[in-house]
Amino acid sequence: MARMLALNVEKALGADAHDKLEPAERDAILEIAYMAIAADGKLMESELDAFTEAMLLLYGPQATPEKVKQLVDHLVATFEHDANDDLREFTSELERPYARRTAYKLAYAMAMSDLDTNDSEFEFDQKLRCMLGLSEDEAEALADEVIEAIRPGGRPAI
Protein backbone atom coordinates (compact mmCIF):
# COMPACT_ATOMS: atom_id res chain seq x y z
CA MET A 1 0.00 0.00 0.00
CA ALA A 2 1.34 3.48 -0.87
CA ARG A 3 2.40 5.71 1.96
CA MET A 4 0.32 8.81 2.37
CA LEU A 5 1.55 12.19 3.45
CA ALA A 6 -0.13 14.20 6.15
CA LEU A 7 -0.06 17.90 6.67
CA ASN A 8 0.24 19.01 10.26
CA VAL A 9 -1.55 22.37 10.05
CA GLU A 10 -0.61 23.26 13.61
CA LYS A 11 3.07 22.69 12.90
CA ALA A 12 2.85 24.66 9.64
CA LEU A 13 1.16 27.70 11.22
CA GLY A 14 2.06 27.43 14.88
CA ALA A 15 -0.19 26.40 17.74
CA ASP A 16 -0.68 30.03 18.75
CA ALA A 17 -1.85 31.30 15.34
CA HIS A 18 -5.37 31.83 16.71
CA ASP A 19 -4.08 34.14 19.42
CA LYS A 20 -1.82 36.15 17.10
CA LEU A 21 -4.48 36.99 14.51
CA GLU A 22 -7.34 39.45 14.60
CA PRO A 23 -10.80 38.08 13.69
CA ALA A 24 -10.85 39.90 10.31
CA GLU A 25 -7.39 38.50 9.53
CA ARG A 26 -8.52 34.97 10.36
CA ASP A 27 -11.51 35.29 8.04
CA ALA A 28 -9.43 36.71 5.18
CA ILE A 29 -6.74 34.05 5.61
CA LEU A 30 -9.32 31.27 5.46
CA GLU A 31 -10.97 32.78 2.38
CA ILE A 32 -7.55 32.89 0.68
CA ALA A 33 -6.84 29.31 1.76
CA TYR A 34 -10.12 28.20 0.27
CA MET A 35 -9.30 30.00 -2.97
CA ALA A 36 -6.00 28.10 -3.03
CA ILE A 37 -7.68 24.70 -2.87
CA ALA A 38 -10.29 25.70 -5.43
CA ALA A 39 -7.82 27.30 -7.87
CA ASP A 40 -7.72 24.17 -10.01
CA GLY A 41 -11.51 24.00 -10.27
CA LYS A 42 -11.90 20.84 -8.23
CA LEU A 43 -12.23 20.17 -4.53
CA MET A 44 -10.76 16.97 -3.20
CA GLU A 45 -11.75 15.45 0.13
CA SER A 46 -8.13 15.69 1.35
CA GLU A 47 -8.19 19.44 0.63
CA LEU A 48 -11.46 19.96 2.48
CA ASP A 49 -10.16 17.92 5.42
CA ALA A 50 -6.99 20.04 5.61
CA PHE A 51 -9.08 23.20 5.29
CA THR A 52 -11.34 22.07 8.13
CA GLU A 53 -8.28 21.43 10.33
CA ALA A 54 -7.03 24.92 9.53
CA MET A 55 -10.39 26.43 10.45
CA LEU A 56 -10.41 24.60 13.77
CA LEU A 57 -6.91 25.86 14.52
CA LEU A 58 -7.52 29.48 13.50
CA TYR A 59 -10.96 29.84 15.05
CA GLY A 60 -9.90 28.03 18.21
CA PRO A 61 -12.56 27.57 20.88
CA GLN A 62 -15.15 29.45 18.81
CA ALA A 63 -15.11 26.68 16.18
CA THR A 64 -17.83 24.13 16.55
CA PRO A 65 -18.31 21.27 14.09
CA GLU A 66 -21.59 22.88 13.03
CA LYS A 67 -19.97 26.27 12.41
CA VAL A 68 -17.16 24.67 10.42
CA LYS A 69 -19.59 22.68 8.27
CA GLN A 70 -21.71 25.78 7.63
CA LEU A 71 -18.69 27.79 6.50
CA VAL A 72 -17.35 25.04 4.24
CA ASP A 73 -20.81 24.56 2.70
CA HIS A 74 -21.09 28.33 2.15
CA LEU A 75 -17.67 28.54 0.51
CA VAL A 76 -18.36 25.57 -1.76
CA ALA A 77 -21.68 27.07 -2.84
CA THR A 78 -20.42 30.61 -3.49
CA PHE A 79 -16.93 30.13 -4.90
CA GLU A 80 -16.27 31.73 -8.28
CA HIS A 81 -13.30 30.54 -10.34
CA ASP A 82 -12.31 34.02 -11.61
CA ALA A 83 -11.83 35.64 -8.24
CA ASN A 84 -9.03 38.21 -8.70
CA ASP A 85 -11.13 40.96 -7.11
CA ASP A 86 -11.89 38.73 -4.13
CA LEU A 87 -8.21 37.87 -3.74
CA ARG A 88 -7.31 41.56 -3.82
CA GLU A 89 -10.00 42.30 -1.22
CA PHE A 90 -8.88 39.54 1.13
CA THR A 91 -5.16 40.34 0.86
CA SER A 92 -5.90 44.01 1.57
CA GLU A 93 -7.28 42.92 4.97
CA LEU A 94 -3.81 41.64 5.89
CA GLU A 95 -1.70 44.65 6.79
CA ARG A 96 0.54 43.03 9.39
CA PRO A 97 3.53 40.98 8.20
CA TYR A 98 2.57 38.06 10.47
CA ALA A 99 -0.89 37.87 8.90
CA ARG A 100 0.52 38.05 5.36
CA ARG A 101 3.05 35.30 6.10
CA THR A 102 0.38 33.13 7.71
CA ALA A 103 -1.92 33.60 4.72
CA TYR A 104 0.80 32.51 2.33
CA LYS A 105 1.81 29.51 4.41
CA LEU A 106 -1.76 28.30 4.74
CA ALA A 107 -2.53 28.82 1.04
CA TYR A 108 0.62 26.92 0.12
CA ALA A 109 -0.28 24.15 2.54
CA MET A 110 -3.78 23.89 1.13
CA ALA A 111 -2.45 23.66 -2.43
CA MET A 112 -0.15 20.82 -1.33
CA SER A 113 -2.83 18.96 0.62
CA ASP A 114 -4.06 16.93 -2.36
CA LEU A 115 -0.49 16.12 -3.47
CA ASP A 116 -1.35 17.33 -6.97
CA THR A 117 -0.16 20.75 -8.08
CA ASN A 118 -0.89 22.18 -11.51
CA ASP A 119 -0.62 25.34 -13.60
CA SER A 120 -3.78 26.90 -12.11
CA GLU A 121 -2.44 26.52 -8.59
CA PHE A 122 0.96 27.85 -9.68
CA GLU A 123 -0.68 30.93 -11.21
CA PHE A 124 -2.71 31.46 -8.03
CA ASP A 125 0.48 31.17 -5.98
CA GLN A 126 2.22 33.79 -8.12
CA LYS A 127 -0.73 36.23 -7.82
CA LEU A 128 -0.91 35.67 -4.08
CA ARG A 129 2.83 36.29 -3.60
CA CYS A 130 2.50 39.55 -5.51
CA MET A 131 -0.65 40.73 -3.70
CA LEU A 132 0.88 39.93 -0.31
CA GLY A 133 4.06 41.79 -1.23
CA LEU A 134 6.31 38.78 -0.66
CA SER A 135 9.62 38.44 -2.45
CA GLU A 136 10.46 35.14 -4.09
CA ASP A 137 12.97 34.40 -1.32
CA GLU A 138 10.41 35.14 1.42
CA ALA A 139 7.79 32.95 -0.23
CA GLU A 140 10.25 30.09 -0.70
CA ALA A 141 11.29 30.27 2.96
CA LEU A 142 7.63 30.12 4.02
CA ALA A 143 7.00 27.21 1.64
CA ASP A 144 9.97 25.39 3.22
CA GLU A 145 8.32 25.79 6.64
CA VAL A 146 5.16 24.18 5.29
CA ILE A 147 7.09 21.33 3.71
CA GLU A 148 8.66 20.65 7.12
CA ALA A 149 5.11 20.17 8.47
CA ILE A 150 4.35 17.33 6.07
CA ARG A 151 5.16 13.87 7.30
CA PRO A 152 4.72 10.39 5.87
CA GLY A 153 2.25 8.01 7.37
CA GLY A 154 -1.22 9.50 7.42
CA ARG A 155 -3.20 12.02 9.36
CA PRO A 156 -1.49 13.96 12.14
CA ALA A 157 -3.25 14.65 15.39
CA ILE A 158 -3.95 18.31 16.10
Quote the pLDDT of residue 41: 79
Quote the pLDDT of residue 53: 86
Residue 12 lies in a domain: no
Quick one: pLDDT band at residue 134, thresholds 50, 70, 90? Answer: very high
Mean pLDDT confidence for 61-80? 75
Residue 76 lies in a domain: yes
Residue 59 lies in a domain: yes
Residue 146 lies in a domain: yes
Cα 115 to Cα 103: distance, rounded to the nearest angstrom = 19
Residue 157 lies in a domain: no
Number of domains the chain contains: 1
Quote the pLDDT of residue 140: 96
* Domain coverage including residue 36: 18-150
Mean pLDDT confidence for 110-139? 88
Residue 81 lies in a domain: yes
- Whether 7 and 157 have beta carbons less than 8 Å apart is answered as no
Cα 154 to Cα 5: distance, rounded to the nearest angstrom = 6
Quote the pLDDT of residue 116: 67
Residue 8 lies in a domain: no
| Alpha carbon separation from 83 to 34, 58, 143, 150 (Å, rounded) | 11, 23, 23, 28
Quote the pLDDT of residue 73: 78
- Global pTM exceeds 0.85: no
Quick one: pLDDT band at residue 123, thresholds 50, 70, 90? Answer: very high
Over 50: is that where the pLDDT of 4 sits?
Answer: no
Quick one: pLDDT band at residue 155, thresholds 50, 70, 90? Answer: very low
Q: What is the CATH number of the domain that holds 112?
A: 1.10.3680.10
Residue 62 lies in a domain: yes
